[in-house]
C-alpha cells in the first residue's frame, strides 16, 4: 500500500476540514493508501521536518489554503525533501488548485494520487523564499494581511474584496524599474502580479497563456490610471475576462525578473508577507512533482 502524509491546517477556510478527515481517510483506504495525518502548528519548521524524518512515505498531501501550501513547499525545498505533493483545497483561496481543477473531483484526484500520477511543476524563487503561485506588490497587496480572520471565515473571498474597496482612497502609483529577461520597463504602476498559474484571488483567466510547467512566469503590470479606469479593470477581472490587452496593462512572460523601486515596498508571496523590494525572481523549472493526471 502507498503511504502518505496528510498535512492539514485545522483553521483554513471555514475550519470544517477537520470534520471531514474520516471520509478522506476512507477514500484513501479504498484506493490502497495509508494516510498519516499531520496537524499544522506554529512551529512547523522544526515539528514538521522531525515528523517527516520519523516516517517513510511516498508523498505529501496538503490540505489548506494557498498559505498552507506555500509554507509546506518552502519547508520541503529548504530541507531538500524530494517527494511529490498533492493538494486538497480547504482554504479561503485555493488559486493553484482551482487553476488545475483539482478539487472538482476529489474521488478522481485521490485515485490519481494512488496511481502515482505526477507532473513536474515550476516554482518561483526570491532569495531563500519560494512561491507556487503568485508574487505581487502595490495597491491591494497588503489586503490579505489586514482581513480579520473571523470575517474571512464567515464570508470567504468576499472579505478580501470588501477590504480592497476600503483601500481605494489611498491608492498611489509606484515608480518601478522592471527587467524581464532582456526587456527593461520603467513605469509608474499601481500594482504588479507575477504568477505561475492563471488564477489569482479566485479571478480566473488573469494570464491567458499561463502554464505551470513552461519554465516561465507570467507578469501583469497595471499602470497608473484614473480610479474609474481602475474600477472598470477590476470589474473585468471579477468577471473572468481577459485584461492583458487593455491599454493600461502590460503582460509579459519571462524566466528571470528583477524589480526595483526607490520606495519602501513590501511584497506578497502566495498570500503571505514577502520580502521588500528590490526583488530578483527566478523560475525553477520542474522543481517539484505534483500528483496530477491531466487525462
| pLDDT tens digits, 273-289 | 899 999 999 999 999 99
Is residue 262 domain-resident? yes
Do residue 281 and residue 136 come from a single domain?
yes
Single residue among 59, 93, 122 that ends a domain in this structure: 122
Q: What is the pLDDT of residues 126-153, one digit of tens each?
A: 999 999 999 988 765 555 545 444 434 4
Do residue 98 and residue 208 come from a single domain?
no
* pLDDT at residue 164, rounded to an integer: 47
The total of other beta-carbon atoms located within 10 Å of residue 128's CB is 9
Is residue 291 domain-resident? no
Residue 156 has pLDDT above 50, yes or no: no
Top-confidence residue, 118 or 241:
118
Do residue 264 and residue 153 come from a single domain?
yes
Do residue 114 and residue 135 come from a single domain?
no
List CB contacts of 138: < 8 A, sequence separation 6 or more.
174, 189, 190, 191, 192, 222, 265
Max CA separation in the chain (angstroms) = 59
pTM: predicted TM-score of the whole model, two decimal places: 0.86
Q: What is the pLDDT of residues 183-223, one digit of tens each?
A: 999 999 988 999 999 888 767 777 778 899 999 999 999 89
Top-confidence residue, 256 or 246:
256
Residue 13 has pLDDT above 70, yes or no: no
* pLDDT at residue 265, rounded to an integer: 85
For residue 132, the cross-strand partners are: none
The total of other beta-carbon atoms located within 10 Å of residue 97's CB is 26
Do residue 138 and residue 218 come from a single domain?
yes
Top-confidence residue, 78 or 16:
78
Do residue 176 and residue 216 come from a single domain?
yes
Give the separation between CA 198 and CA 95, rounded to whole angstroms.
9
CATH code of residue 30? 3.40.50.10330
Is residue 35 domain-resident? yes
Enclosing domain of residue 87: 2-122
* pLDDT at residue 284, rounded to an integer: 98
Do residue 189 and residue 224 come from a single domain?
yes
What average pLDDT does the structure give for the chain? 84
Residue 180 has pLDDT above 90, yes or no: yes
Is residue 82 domain-resident? yes
Residue 67 has pLDDT above 60, yes or no: yes
Top-confidence residue, 184 or 243:
184
Do residue 84 and residue 141 come from a single domain?
no
Three-state SS letters, 74-86: HHHHHCCCCCCEE
Residue 86 has pLDDT above 90, yes or no: yes
Do residue 173 and residue 251 come from a single domain?
yes
Which among 202, 98, 92, 200 has a CA at the least distance from the CA of 148? 92
Is residue 293 domain-resident? no
Mean pLDDT of 160-177: 62
Single residue among 122, 138, 158 that ends a domain in this structure: 122
Give the separation between CA 254 and CA 285, rounded to whole angstroms.
12
Is residue 294 domain-resident? no
Domain count, the chain: 2
Local confidence band at 11 (pLDDT 50, 70, 90 cut-offs): confident
Do residue 155 and residue 81 come from a single domain?
no
Do residue 155 and residue 273 come from a single domain?
yes
Top-confidence residue, 139 or 104:
104
Single residue among 122, 150, 178 that ends a domain in this structure: 122
Residue 154 has pLDDT above 50, yes or no: no
Is residue 22 domain-resident? yes
Which among 41, 98, 99 has a CA at the least distance from the CA of 72? 41
Is residue 189 domain-resident? yes
Identify the helix (H) or strand (E) that includes residue 151.
helix 149-155
Do residue 94 and residue 37 come from a single domain?
yes
CATH code of residue 136? 2.60.200.40
Amino acid at each position: 500500500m502507498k503511504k502518505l502524509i496528510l498535512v492539514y491546517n485545522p483553521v483554513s477556510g471555514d475550519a470544517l476540514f477537520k470534520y471531514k478527515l474520516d471520509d478522506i481517510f476512507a477514500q484513501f483506504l479504498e484506493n490502497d493508501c495509508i494516510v498519516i495525518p499531520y496537524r499544522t502548528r506554529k512551529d512547523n519548521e522544526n515539528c514538521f521536518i522531525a515528523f517527516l524524518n520519523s516516517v517513510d512515505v511516498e508523498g505529501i498531501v496538503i490540505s489548506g489554503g494557498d498559505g498552507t501550501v506555500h509554507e509546506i513547499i518552502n519547508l520541503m525545498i529548504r530541507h531538500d525533501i524530494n517527494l511529490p505533493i498533492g493538494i486538497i483545497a480547504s482554504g479561503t483561496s485555493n488559486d493553484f488548485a482551482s487553476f488545475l481543477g483539482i478539487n472538482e473531483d476529489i474521488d478522481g484526484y485521490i485515485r490519481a494520487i494512488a496511481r502515482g500520477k505526477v507532473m513536474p511543476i515550476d516554482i518561483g524563487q526570491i532569495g531563500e523564499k519560494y512561491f507556487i503561485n503568485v508574487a505581487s506588490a502595490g495597491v491591494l497587496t497588503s489586503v490579505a494581511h489586514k482581513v480579520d480572520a473571523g470575517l474571512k471565515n464567515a464570508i470567504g473571498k468576499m472579505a478580501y474584496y470588501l477590504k480592497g474597496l476600503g483601500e481605494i482612497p489611498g491608492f498611489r502609483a509606484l515608480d518601478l524599474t522592471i527587467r524581464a529577461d532582456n526587456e527593461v520597463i520603467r513605469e509608474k504602476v499601481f500594482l504588479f502580479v507575477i504568477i505561475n498559474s492563471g488564477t489569482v484571488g479566485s479571478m480566473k483567466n488573469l494570464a491567458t497563456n499561463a502554464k505551470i510547467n513552461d519554465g516561465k512566469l507570467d507578469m501583469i503590470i497595471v499602470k497608473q490610471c484614473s480610479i474609474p479606469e481602475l474600477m472598470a479593470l477590476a470589474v473585468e477581472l471579477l468577471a473572468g475576462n481577459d485584461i492583458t490587452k487593455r491599454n493600461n496593462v502590460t503582460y509579459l512572460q519571462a524566466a528571470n525578473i528583477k524589480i526595483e523601486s526607490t520606495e519602501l515596498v513590501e511584497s506578497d508571496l502566495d498570500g503571505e508577507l514577502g520580502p521588500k523590494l528590490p526583488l530578483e525572481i527566478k523560475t525553477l523549472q520542474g522543481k517539484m512533482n505534483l500528483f496530477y493526471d491531466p487525462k
